[in-house]
Chain A
Amino acid sequence: MECVFGLVGNGFAIVAADTSAVHSILVHKSNEDKIMVLDSHKLIAASGEPGDRVHFTEYIQKNVALYQFRNGIPLTTAAAANFTRGELATALRKNPYSVNILLAGYDKETGPSLYYIDYIATLHKVDKGAFGYGSYFSLSMMDRHFHSGMSLEEAVDLVDKCIIEIRTRLVVAPPNFVIKIVDKDGAREYAWRESIKDMSVISS
């Protein structure tokens, strides 16, 4: 089952997501990137129905880019989060998207922030958040070890603790995770945590 979680540290926000693309009992691929770079200083980690996830996050990404083209300045993280919630809320009673989102961003004025947006468009600004069955483990792990203003080393250590806990205790634990961070220098991939490497095609 899809695991997404994230937290806010000292001047940065970090999110991790599993990388399995699953269809019923079949694992299509184990290196599916579920954390989209929304713009230079925002990340959107999404979990849920695969078609909806890709379609909805791309739609948000393009609209955020459009705003920047039209107005010459980028959206703040709070504005992007509220826009995303608005789109989910409008679609909710017509054609709902089954996508849960953690939106992480960095603004010069307000610093790092993390927004929890669930599939029925509940929006809340949080210090730590998680979705999926993995959330039962990662949220508890973060409740125990998180404190505000964590350094990058401490935060990555906590993310690793959560990944280990998910791998140990979740029966259908995903093998691989991707970790991305966003800080004053922008949004970027930080690391992969792989326990199964995708095999490339073997030539006969």
Chain B
Amino acid sequence: MSIFEYNGSALIAMVGKNCFAIASDRRLGVQLQTIATDFQRIYKIHDKVFLGLSGLATDAQTLYQRLMFRHKLYQLREERDMKPETFASLVSAILYEKRFGPYFCQPVIAGLGDEDKPFICTMDSIGAKELAKDFVVAGTASESLYGACEAMFKPDMEPEELFEIVSQALLSSVDRDCLSGWGGHIYVVTPTEVRERILKGRMD
């Protein structure tokens, strides 16, 4: 079994009209065994930048701690928050530092940049950035997620509709993947508020 499939994960980020949604599953497993059903994969870097980390859970935790540290240092020096584009470059650089002994994670970054323009990107475990205008996916269920998102996506969705679309895409994809699921965790972020919701899906 691949090291990326040791813990199991599923992540989506999708762009809407002046908003974005980022969602993950909630399972923490050790290969075939489920350890917890409330594992957090999405972290808030600051009010307008969210980071999702799929792949090996231990590396996701280490990476999150390193990135939080770097962002706090940036905040002290620059006296402002990092833009999502800048943060994505930081993540890419940190991942490439370990080119020949990488972190086994695939990050998904979503944020509101200048003039609250939504920004999403993903990268592989060694920091190759993939910018997208519509959606990005990661995790063991990524192939199903690509299909579901492609079928359901429409440009310029309002937050409520975006929430529905992302939830349906996530839940239907993780149902086809034994290593991810056990509910969903979704953040819908607009310039004025962040709405966090837990989804109840098939608990198996």
Contacts and interface: CB of A to CB of B under 8 A. Distances in A.
A139 B33 contact: yes
Contacts of A123: 61
A121 B57 CA distance: 9
A200 B141 CA distance: 56
B33 A122 contact: no
Given A122-B7, A122-B28, A116 B35 contact: yes
Given A93-B101, A118-B30, A124 B35 contact: yes
Contact of B58 (A89, A129, A135): A89
B62 interface: yes
Nearest to B40: A124
A121 B60 CA distance: 11
B171 interface: no
B36 interface: yes
A42 interface: no
A136 B33 CA distance: 8
Q: Which 9 A-B pairs have CB atoms at the shortest separation, nearest pair first? A: A122-B57, A121-B58, A122-B58, A120-B58, A124-B36, A89-B62, A126-B36, A124-B28, A93-B101
B56 interface: yes
Interface residues of B, number: 13
Interface in A109-154: 116, 118, 120-124, 126, 129, 135-136, 139
Nearest to B101: A93
Interface of A: 85, 89, 92-93, 116, 118, 120-124, 126, 129, 135-136, 139
Nearest to A88: B58
Interface of B: 7, 28, 30, 33, 35-36, 39, 56-58, 61-62, 101
Tell me if A's interface is mostly helix, strand, loop or mixed: mixed
B35 A129 contact: yes
Contacts of B28: 122, 124
Contact of A126 (B7, B35, B56, B61): B35
A136 B61 CA distance: 26
A100 to B, nearest CB: 10
Contacts of B33: 135-136, 139
Contacts of A89: 58, 61-62
A93 B33 CA distance: 24
A86 to B, nearest CB: 8
Contacts of B58: 89, 92, 118, 120-122
A4 B179 CA distance: 24
